[in-house]
Structure formats: C-alpha cells, structure tokens
C-alpha cells in the first residue's frame, strides 16, 4: 500500500473508532478530564542482532513509546545452577537507555533444578513456580543489583499468577503471596524506592478450573497482607477478538472489569495506587481468535483513550512490538504491531500519527 493509501485507510479507521467510542464509552467513562497516558511495548529479542534491535527501538520512538517491558526469565537466565546468562535483558536495557525509555522488568518462572516438586507432566517446566520462594527471592536480589541503576522503573512479580496456565497446578493466592513478599523484600533491600507490582492478573478462559477471577484473587491478597505491600496492581485485560469497549461479551477480568478491580483497591485504602495495564493487544492473522488489522488498530486506540479517562489507571503497555513468526494461523505469533520484517501494521502507523489527529 502506498503511503498516501495507508494514511487514507487510517483516517477512515480513526473516524470509525471515534464514532464507535461515542456510542459505547458512556458505560465506562468517569467524570475525570481526558489526559494523556504513557504507553509502552513488550519487547522480545528472539534472534534479533544489534542492528535489528536498534531499529525496533527507533520505531518505538516514532510511536512515542516511553516504557519497555522485558522478561527477566529465571528459567532461561539460570538454566544451569550458578550459570547465569544475562545477554537477553542486557541487550534490551542497553537500547532502552540509549533511547531514554523506562524499563519494566517481569521477574517470572523458574529453572528445572529449582522446581522439581512443583512440575506436572502436562505443563511446561519453565512455567512452574519454584519449590522455595527464598530461591526466587535470591534471584530477584541478584537481578535488582544488576539492573536497579540501569533504568528499571518497575518490577512486575510473575506473569498471570491467577491462572492455572502460569501457576501450577492451580492458581493459589496464598502461595503467590509468599513468593511476592519474599521477592519484594529482596528487591527493596537493593532499591528502597523500587516500584513493585502484583503480577499481571489475567481474564479467565471459559473453562472449569482455569483460575481465579482477578477481583477475587486480589481480595485474597489483601486478606493475607500481600497486596498492601505492592505499589500497584498489574493487569492483562485482553478482550480479543472483541474490542475493549464491547464489555457485554468480555470474559471475567477483561477490560470492562477494570473499574471493579480498582474498587477492591479503594475498599482496602489503596485507591491512590494505580492499575498498570502491562499487557494489552490483539493478534492479527487467520487464527480462530485473530482480528483484522483494522480491529487491532481500534483495540489499541480505544484502550488508550479509555485508560486516559481513568485517573487511577496507567501506564498502558501493549503486547507486543514484533510478531513472533510468519505463520498467520498461529495466534501467539501475531500480536505484534510490527511484522517479523519490522514493517509496520496499521496499528503502528496509528501510534506514529500526531495524537491531535485521533485524540478527542
């Protein structure tokens, strides 16, 4: 598509988005004035070389990205005990620093040697929680020593712990609370000003035993005294294949339930703390839950406009920057706003537009 054609197509998308939001936003809108909300991207290095990674960051700068979210995956960094490889996060942090972007580090997962009693045959070993929270805390301490002075603005402890997929064999707020408290204490011994977040809570799939609803899970964390120690709560309120303001069709814990999650925080005296949207997006392609490139664009724009209306929400970090592959039928590989060759999808073009052209 020519540059003029792409811009003309985006203008039509923008007008459609504004019309749709005008009809549906009343259910979510607060009385607070519209304000800008910082945006970020999840970055996966994969096989990118230095030039490719620099290009990714250059493109993020054009999209006005100010936050970068990167995995500090214990299972890959210390696959062999006492044999640490920091190449992945080092490469991302170097580019983030060079581009003046803040870093959110996601501390998660455990190597096989640290989770022998928590693994189960049908689950990826890397997703297992560690046998001993103290071992995870030790890794968190080492990571904080390495990166606290290199631009880490926030630490997200674990990924979607309220789901069975990422907390084996079943979601357990008590077990997660033990891990969170240990890791938080370890990080703050290195950096007393660190921002530490409850790991991104996810919507529940429509299947028995999938996990615990975010509001209920957070209530349990308050009951144990865990949530009070956090500086905020991270969420991953995906809605695809539906748009974020189509609240009547969303799963439990999705975008439309964010006010209810913040209400839990308010009831416990934490209303001043933010709900950080640390993953949000939609996959393109031909997969069963994929969306069109137009709807991916609408998803990102609608979410940003609505989060800006919630004074208690933000930043908003999209998932993710670059597609993980070229197979259009694989949903997990098509969340990027950039294709694998780094060519922009319409969603990336929209973020590069002057905000005054699509903000209302």
Buried b (16+ CB within 10 A) or exposed e, 171-206: bbbeebbbbbbbbbebbbebbeebbbbbbbbbbbee
pLDDT, one tens digit per residue, over 309-348 is 999 999 999 999 999 999 999 999 999 999 999 999 999 9
Query: For residues 166 and 154, is the Cβ–Cβ distance under 8 A?
Result: no
Which residues, 6+ apart, have CB-to-CB distance to 281 below 8 Å? Answer: 238, 240, 296, 299, 300, 318, 319, 320, 335, 337
Note the residue count of the chain: 360
Can you read off the two tokens belonging to residue 283? 């996959």
pLDDT, one tens digit per residue, over 116-126 is 777 666 556 66
Query: For residues 10 and 353, is the Cβ–Cβ distance under 8 A?
Result: yes
Asked whether the predicted pLDDT for residue 11 surpasses 60, the reply is no
Percentage of the chain beyond pLDDT 90 is: 78
Position 224 confidence tier, pLDDT thresholds 50, 70, 90: very high
Preceding amide of 278 cis, omega within 30 = no
pLDDT score recorded for residue 209: 83
The pTM assigned to this predicted structure is 0.89
Position 248 confidence tier, pLDDT thresholds 50, 70, 90: confident
Asked whether the predicted pLDDT for residue 272 surpasses 50, the reply is yes
End-to-end CA distance of the chain: 27
Position 15 confidence tier, pLDDT thresholds 50, 70, 90: very low
Distances (CA, A) of 37 to 106, 112, 312, 336: 21, 39, 11, 20
pLDDT score recorded for residue 124: 60
Query: For residues 325 and 340, is the Cβ–Cβ distance under 8 A?
Result: yes
d(C-alpha 153, C-alpha 185), whole Å:
17
pLDDT, one tens digit per residue, over 284-300 is 999 999 999 999 999 99
Which domains, ranges and CATH numbers included, belong to the chain? 36-357 (3.20.20.80)
Instruction: Match 């990102």 to its residue by tokens.
Output: 300
Position 12 confidence tier, pLDDT thresholds 50, 70, 90: very low
């Amino acid at each position: 598509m020519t540059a003029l054609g792409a811009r003309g197509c985006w203008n039509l998308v923008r007008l459609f988005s504004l019309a749709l939001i005008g009809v549906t936003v009343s259910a979510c809108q607060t009385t607070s004035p519209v304000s800008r909300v910082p945006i970020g991207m999840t970055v996966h290095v994969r096989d990118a070389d230095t030039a490719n990674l620099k290009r990714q960051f250059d493109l993020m700068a054009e999209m006005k990205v100010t936050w970068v979210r990167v995995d500090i995956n214990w299972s890959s960094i210390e696959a062999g005990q006492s044999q640490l490889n920091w190449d992945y996060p080092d490469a991302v942090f170097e580019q983030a620093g060079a581009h003046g972007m803040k870093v959110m580090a996601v501390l998660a997962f455990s190597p096989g040697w640290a989770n022998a009693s928590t693994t189960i045959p049908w689950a990826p070993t890397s997703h297992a929680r560690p046998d001993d929270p103290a071992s995870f805390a030790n890794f968190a301490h080492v990571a904080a020593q390495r990166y606290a002075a290199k631009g880490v603005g926030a630490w997200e402890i674990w990924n979607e712990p309220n789901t069975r997929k990422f907390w084996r064999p079943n979601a357990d707020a008590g077990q997660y609370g033990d891990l969170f408290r240990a890791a938080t204490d370890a990080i703050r011994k290195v950096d007393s000003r660190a921002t530490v977040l409850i790991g991104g809570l996810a919507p529940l799939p429509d299947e028995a035993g999938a996990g615990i609803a975010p509001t209920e899970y957070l209530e349990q964390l308050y009951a144990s005294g865990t949530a009070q120690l956090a500086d905020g709560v991270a969420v991953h309120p995906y809605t695809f294949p539906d748009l974020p303001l189509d609240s009547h069709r969303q799963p439990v814990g999705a975008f439309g339930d964010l006010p209810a999650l913040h209400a839990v925080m308010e009831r416990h005296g934490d209303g001043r703390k933010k709900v950080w949207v640390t993953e949000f997006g939609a996959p393109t392609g031909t997969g069963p839950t994929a969306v069109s490139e137009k709807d991916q664009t609408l998803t990102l724009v609608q979410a940003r406009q609505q989060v800006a209306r919630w004074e208690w929400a933000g930043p908003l970090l999209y998932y993710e920057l670059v597609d993980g592959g070229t197979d259009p039928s694989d949903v997990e590989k098509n969340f990027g706003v950039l294709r694998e060759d780094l060519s922009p999808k319409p969603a990336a073009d929209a973020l590069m537009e002057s905000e005054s052209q699509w903000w209302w």
